[in-house]
Structure 1
């Protein structure tokens, strides 16, 4: 009986980690134009960083300070948007979310140019922005 309980607990743990993204660093092909409210015409926003996750998922929680730091470093040239996919099912569908956290990066025209699944380290995000010619306003 004890072994069956251990197996059940192990299965529950595996399913929970898989649902949270289990910190998988997985890049996906961009989805193209995303119908979104994030890039207003005439704004100085060069990149919109859309974080799709949950407030309860561990890798998603680890992304919170990264998003805050990016927002502070890039000012108005990068807009950071967070969607809790458990509360905002429309965002989950709009961005075709397979696992969380997922980061979607949009250019100034609202076209998706990069997508990443799992925790995304700040230094890697900065490299992505630099490859697009977007530099921080403060270090």
Structure 2
């Protein structure tokens, strides 16, 4: 009787292990929340309020960078850290959003996506200003925003430049 029970116990343990591994792989990285194919990147609390009084109030509409891609697409994965960094650097000045169109196909249709990743630049009133398909480097996106008339201050870089210039004085 015990010899028949051992394979059953081993089978149950194997199934439990496979289910555990599969569930672990499906979890999103820490801080990223995905619901219905729409992923939201977190903003650190210290970035929630503008650093100076001249910055835009939080309740004022902001220009928006919308990246439509997929979590399993290689160029989209390359864009993820860039979008994270921009969301942090430009908090309170630019709204950065990612939508996974493989999980939320209606969003792909809504925005007329032909390929991923696609970045769409919107003004504060929600009007589309520019659209780019494929990987888009951070420097190129910032240059495009500047070309469109938007300049975003980067507190960390400005502080670093001021500190390095004091030593050169």
TM-score band, normalised by shorter chain: 0.5 to 0.7
Maintained 8 Å contact 2:63/2:125:
no
CA distance in 1, matches of 2:84, 2:61: 16
Matched, 1:122 2:155: no
Alignment partner of 1:85 out of 77, 101, 104: 101
* 1:46 CA displacement: 3.2
TM-score, normalization: structure 2? 0.55
Larger Rg: 2
| Other-structure match for 2:59 | 43
Maintained 8 Å contact 1:45/1:76:
no
Flag as ranges the 4+ runs of structure 1 deviating above 6 A: none
* Consecutive unaligned residues in structure 2, runs of 5 or more: 1-57, 158-169
| Other-structure match for 2:77 | 61
| Other-structure match for 2:112 | 96
* 1:53 CA displacement: 0.3
* 1:137 CA displacement: 3.4
CA distance in 1, matches of 2:63, 2:116: 21
CA distance in 2, matches of 1:94, 1:60: 19
* 1:128 CA displacement: 1.5
CA distance in 2, matches of 1:111, 1:53: 20
* 1:43 CA displacement: 3.3
| Other-structure match for 1:20 | none
TM-score, normalization: structure 1? 0.66
Aligned pair count? 98
Matched, 1:135 2:161: no
CA distance in 2, matches of 1:133, 1:61: 26
Matched, 1:105 2:111: no
Alignment partner of 2:86 out of 65, 70, 91: 70
Maintained 8 Å contact 2:79/2:135:
yes
